[in-house]
């Protein structure tokens, strides 16, 4: 299983967790071996001045697609961005996200031994992911 910590600003973090946002746009994509394509968990760190500034949920990565040209209207709608924003951001990668789960309580980065969030994303160690899984199950 591969675990990635993804920095996401409001309102996009909430849109991912509500299931409204099915595509997250990033300038690059992780290196995922073919045998791990079914097992990538994205942990959502809500960044920005209005954000929780903590890990608030998770979802699964089901694919990523390099975008060099404008995609179809459905992808733009499911990315929750304007055409103008996407045009200015190309080329990029669209990360397909699904199965969002909001954590019962926000988890500070210090709980997994981090002092600052990634600018975009970073891999987590199995130990860090295990801590987040335990924290996610504490209130069940």
Q: What are the domain boundaries of the chain?
A: 2-137
For residue 52, which of 3, 119, 105 has the smallest C-alpha distance?
105
Over 60: is that where the pLDDT of 107 sits? yes
Residue 111 CB neighbours (<10 A): 15
Over 80: is that where the pLDDT of 38 sits? no
Over 70: is that where the pLDDT of 36 sits? no
Over 90: is that where the pLDDT of 49 sits? no
Stated pTM of the model: 0.93
What pLDDT shows up at residue 125? 97
Pairing status of strand 2-9 against strand 40-47: parallel
What pLDDT shows up at residue 126? 95
CATH number of 2-137: 2.30.130.30
The whole-chain average pLDDT of the chain stands at 93
Q: Determine the Cα–Cα distance for residues 79 and 25; give it in Å rounded to an integer.
A: 7
């Amino acid at each position: 299983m591969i675990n990635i910590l993804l920095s996401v600003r409001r309102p996009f973090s909430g849109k991912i967790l509500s299931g409204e946002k099915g595509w997250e746009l990033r300038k690059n994509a992780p290196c995922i071996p073919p045998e791990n394509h079914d097992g990538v968990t994205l942990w959502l760190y809500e960044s920005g001045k209005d954000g929780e500034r903590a890990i608030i949920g998770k979802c699964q990565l089901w694919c990523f697609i390099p975008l060099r040209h404008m995609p179809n209207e459905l992808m733009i709608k499911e990315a929750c961005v304007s055409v103008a924003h996407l045009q200015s951001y190309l080329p990029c990668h669209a990360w397909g996200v699904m199965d969002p789960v909001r954590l019962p309580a926000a988890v500070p980065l210090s709980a997994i031994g981090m002092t600052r969030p990634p600018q975009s994303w970073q891999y987590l160690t199995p130990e860090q992911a295990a801590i987040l899984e335990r924290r996610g199950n504490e209130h069940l």
